A and B are shown apart, each in its own frame.
Chain A
Amino acid sequence: MKKEHTHENAKKFGMVIDLDKCTGCGACMVACMAENNVPFKKDESEKLDSITWIRVYKLTNGKSFPDTEICYLPKPCMHCSGIGEHGHSPCVSVCPATATDYDHTTGIVSQIYTRCFGCRYCMAACPYHARYFNWWDPVWPEGMEKSLNPDVSPRMRGVVEKCSFCFHRYQAAMDKAYTEGRRELEEDEYQTACTQACPAGAITFGDLNNPDHKVHELKKSPNAFRLLERLKTNPKVYYLSSRDWVRKAGDNYLEAENKVKKK
């Protein structure tokens, strides 16, 4: 067991989202909420305090008709490895109570709800706004509590939550593998809810370190980019787009700079 957790064969789960394929349908958001027991408000029109572990943004190229183009960009937690890929992601390094942690065996940034005391320093640290605070206790409509996912604990008021890359699915898959005498998972044994729900197949999930997984090749595409790479957060969510302006939207550039590397 100890040998499996060394850096040499550590996994680095990540996502590649093809923005050319994303239609902005929001199925990923719905699947995520159902899978992870994400609470919701009666009135969800105020987005600044509503919880969506994956949120679909609508980007435009800023041009008027007929040159207008739009792009939908789903944004989960980036599970950053941090500067130097040492696991000091912006949020993990600041949490005073070690309520969020970087798992070096999977590359997943966890959130320990029962340890979080709600100081929100991690939210202040995250440039992606991928972290959400439970401003209210969750209230489920009559009868809905029966359809909650028993593998995911609902969160209480006053703590921060975020996308976990459906970590409970990883645990379940590993449990199954162990009982079958295996120590490694097949690619399709651990997939996130949003990946499976995307009708356009825009989301691909897997081990970025594993050459047998699709994400390993996809992230090398010349069209691949990550959000805010210049901040050295080292996100594990990659995006693909054949459009220049979309790739440029992934980061901040000075006017004088050559904004995106040419293919």
Chain B
Amino acid sequence: MDSALIPKGVKRCSLGLFTLGIAVAGAVLLWGVYAMLLCWIKGLNQTNMNDYYGFALWIWADLAVIALGGGAFFTGFLRYVIGKDELKNIINYAVIIGFICYSSALLILAIDVGQPLRSWFIFWHANVHSMLTEVAFCLSCYFAVLTIEFIPLILENRQVDKVPFFHNLSHNMHEVMAIFAATGAFLSFFHQGSLGGVAGVLYGRPFGSREGLLVWPWTFFLFTWSAAACGPCFTILVTWITEKITKKKLVKDNVIRLLAKISGWMLATYIIAKIIDTWYWATVTAPSMGFTLMDFYSNNAFYGIWILVLEIFICGIIPALILITKTGRNNSKLLMTAVILAVIGVCINRWVMVLQVMAMPVLTFENWVLYIPSWQEVATTILPVAYGVIVLALAYRYLPVFPQEKELNPID
């Protein structure tokens, strides 16, 4: 029924099956929208946040999706600025994933603030000293860039492309895409960094606080670095999941391996920097504030030292070692294990830099607090996942996302 919209030379599942899949994701989406409306109408009392846990699940989700969406800016940077031409075969998907991640982050932020209608105050009454101000400006600008990068792909839909104006617009936008990719990389460097700075500048919170360079704490650079390392891993992971669902090879192995190799070296260098940062923090920064490393981890099992081991060793060193070796990259099981570990690792990093910062008491007569999110928080955090699935499904079905799909899956 919708065959006129499907790109030529590729095969898609039946409209019925597609609709069923969209309906399942749509049901989850509606559940999230219901929770979102509850939060907007009744207020943040719908959450289990409190005055000790002012930042919680949503801020973690925000930081995590932005890190994972980092695949868009870094792949774009490699493709258009560095000139890694092979990556043209995955850049479309990286941009769509980035678009989903960033639009989700903006939506979550809109739910997370106590007075959403005043959100524009961040631009109007901007405090230039605040990392969050930098986040707001760069995030919004980069989302606009991602939208600009996404538009030409939408215009390539078979029916839209028939309109001469859209055809020419799409062509011309492709011509200048390098400028947008470079702008995006520049903006991303700052907002990924400022998100790291959000915790790093909290000099009243010893768990997050870091020294740094000029006005930027070390976490500023670490966040950008880790997003550039793990974002492409997420792009690879989503591509792999898409291939499993569609039962098709969509991107050639050499493209995936090239991205994995660059990602691996970024991860390896990042994890060295992260280890140095952790060591300095544990031996110099924290003791100057009266804390030992174990003061940060020893209170309960949930916030135990295992989380540091998991983040740095299991989800940092191991995937980096796999990805920088040819044998590791050429073994698809090892490759996917590394990619999954790297994605988990960056999510754990964002988790501790939000949740553990809040959980740890600073006053000697206060206690650790534990936090369990309400169902409304969980539903609104899952909402972007459902939204992402729907956007990806629609894009895959109706747009020429993967340039190598025809070649890899010839129709008899």
Binding site for B on A (CB under 8 A): 46, 48-49, 57, 59, 73, 83, 88, 90, 93-99, 115-121, 123-129, 131-137, 156-160, 227-228, 230-233, 248-254, 257
Given A124-B205, A227-B363; A48-B290 close (CB under 8 Å)? no
Question: Measured between alpha carbons, how far is A12 from B106 in the docked complex, in Å?
Answer: 40
Q: Is the CB of A252 within 8 A of B127?
A: no
The reply to whether A125 and B204 form a contact with Cβ atoms under 8 Å apart is yes
A120 and B127 contact, Cβ closer than 8 Å, known pairs A49-B50, A90-B203: no
Stretch at the interface among B25-33, B115-123, B316-324, B327-335: B115-123
Asked if residues A117 and B43 are in contact (CB atoms below 8 Å), the reply is no
Q: A120-B55, A158-B113 are in contact. List 8 more A-B contacts (CB 8 A).
A: A48-B51, A117-B119, A118-B114, A125-B204, A125-B205, A127-B362, A132-B51, A135-B43
**B140-185 interface (Cβ within 8 A of A):** none
What are 6 sample pairs from A and B whose C-beta atoms fall under 8 A apart?
A: A96-B132, A96-B136, A115-B121, A117-B116, A127-B204, A252-B364
Across the interface, name the chain B residue whose C-beta is closest to A126: B204
Contact B121 A93 (CB under 8 A): no
CA distance A78 to B169 in the complex (A): 58
Within 8 A of A (CB), among B179-231: 198, 201-206
Q: Are A94 and B202 CB-contacts (below 8 A) given A57-B365, A119-B132, A135-B44?
A: yes
> Does B289 sit at the interface, judged by CB under 8 A?
yes
Rounded to whole Å, the gap between the CB of B136 and the closest CB of chain A is: 6
Bound together, the chains give a CA A98 to CA B122 distance in angstroms of 8
Q: Which of B52, B121, B131, B203 contacts A117 (CB 8 A)?
A: B121
**A96-B136, A128-B363 known; A120+B369 contact, CB < 8 A:** no
- Verify if B287 is at the interface (C-beta below 8 Å from A): yes
Chain A residues with CB under 8 A of B133? 96
A25-B247 Cα distance, complex, nearest whole Å: 71
Against A, the Cβ 8 Å flags (1 = close, 0 = not) of B18-50 are 000000000000000000000000011100011
Among the interface residues B114, B129, B204, B357, which one has the most CB atoms of the partner chain A within 10 A? B204
Is A93 a contact partner of B365 (Cβ separation < 8 A)?
Answer: no
Q: Is the CB of A158 within 8 A of B202?
A: no
Q: Which of A120, A157, A250, A252 contacts B289 (CB 8 A)?
A: A252
Alpha-carbon distance A65/B107, docked complex (angstroms) = 55
Bound CA–CA A49/B374 (angstroms): 15
Chain A residues positioned under 8 Å from B136 (CB to CB): 96
How many of chain B's residues touch chain A, expressed as a range?
35 or more
A118-B114, A133-B44 known; A90-B202 Cβ under 8 A:
yes
Complex contacts, A119 vs chain B, CB 8 Å:
112-114, 122, 132
CB of A136 within 8 A of CB of B51, answer no
* A158 lies within 8 A of B50 (CB): no
Instruction: Report yes or no: A232 in contact with B51, Cβ–Cβ below 8 A.
Output: no
> What 3 A-B pairs come out closest when comparing CB atoms?
A118-B114, A158-B114, A252-B290
A residues near B122, Cβ cutoff 8 Å: 96-97, 117, 119
Closest-by-CB residue of A relative to B122 is: A96
B42 to chain A, nearest CB (A): 9
B357-A117 in contact (CB<8A) = no
Quick one: which of A73, A90, A126, A158 contacts B115, CB cutoff 8 A? A158
Q: Are A95 and B127 in contact (CB under 8 A)?
A: yes
Q: Distance (Å) between the CB of A6 and the closest chain B CB?
A: 23
A233 touching B204 in the complex, CB below 8 Å, given contacts A124-B357, A251-B290, A254-B290: yes
| Partner of B114 from A57, A124, A126, A134 at Cβ < 8 Å | A134
By a CB distance below 8 angstroms, the chain A residues around B50 are: 46, 48-49, 135
Cβ distance A126 to chain B, nearest Cβ, rounded Å: 6
Docked Cα-Cα span, A116 to B119, in Å, equals 9
B interface, CB within 8 angstroms of A: 43-45, 49-55, 112-116, 118-119, 121-122, 124-127, 129-133, 136, 198, 201-206, 287-292, 295, 357-358, 362-366, 369
Are the CB atoms of B55 and A97 closer together than 8 Å?
A: no
Q: A231 and B132 in contact (CB under 8 A), knowing A96-B126, A121-B198?
A: no
Q: What distance in Å separates the Cβ of A161 from its nearest Cβ neighbour in chain B?
A: 11
The answer to whether B114 and A59 have CB atoms under 8 Å apart is: no
Q: Complex formed: what's the CA distance from A231 to B209 in Å?
A: 10
- Do B114 and A231 touch (CB < 8 A)? no
Shortest distance in angstroms between B215's beta carbon and chain A's nearest beta carbon? Answer: 10
Cα A178 to Cα B198 in complex, Å, equals 43
Complex CA distance for A162 and B20, rounded to whole angstroms:
51
Q: Which residue of A lies closest to B364 (CB)?
A: A249
Provide the residues of chain A in CB contact with B290, threshold 8 Å: 230, 251-254, 257
Are B205 and A127 within 8 A (Cβ)? yes
Bound complex: CA A254 to CA B45 (Å):
38
Are B127 and A96 in touch, CB under 8 angstroms? yes
Kindly provide the distance from the CB of A103 to the nearest chain B CB, expressed in whole angstroms.
Answer: 15
| Contact yes or no, A96 B52, CB < 8 A | no
Report if A125-B132 is in contact (Cβ < 8 Å); known contacts: A48-B369, A137-B43. no
A127 to B362, CA, bound (A): 6
Known: A95-B127, A127-B204. A49 touches B121 (CB 8 A): no
A97 contacts which chain B residues (CB < 8 A)?
118, 121-122, 124-127
Give the distance in Å from the alpha carbon of A96 to the alpha carbon of B201 in the complex.
13
Most buried by B among A99, A115, A119, A249: A119
Contact of A131 among B44, B51, B202, B362 (CB under 8 A): B51
Q: Are A254 and B287 in contact (CB under 8 A)?
A: yes
B54–A133 CB distance below 8 A = yes
Most buried by B among A57, A96, A233: A96
Between A115, A158, A230, the greatest number of chain B beta carbons within 10 A of the residue's beta carbon is seen for A158
Q: Is the CB of B289 within 8 A of A230?
A: yes
Q: CB distance A231 to B51 under 8 Å? A: no
Known contacts A118-B114, A157-B43: does B363 contact A99 (CB below 8 Å)?
no
In the complex the two chains form, what is the Cα distance from A57 to B365 in whole Å?
8
- Chain B residues within an 8 Å CB radius of A59: 365
Docked Cα-Cα span, A97 to B125, in Å, equals 5
Shortest CB-to-CB span from B243 to chain A, Å, is 39
Is B44 a contact of A96 with CB atoms below 8 Å? no
With the chains together, A126 CA to B121 CA distance in Å?
Answer: 22
Q: Give A221 to B205 CA distance when docked, in angstroms.
A: 28
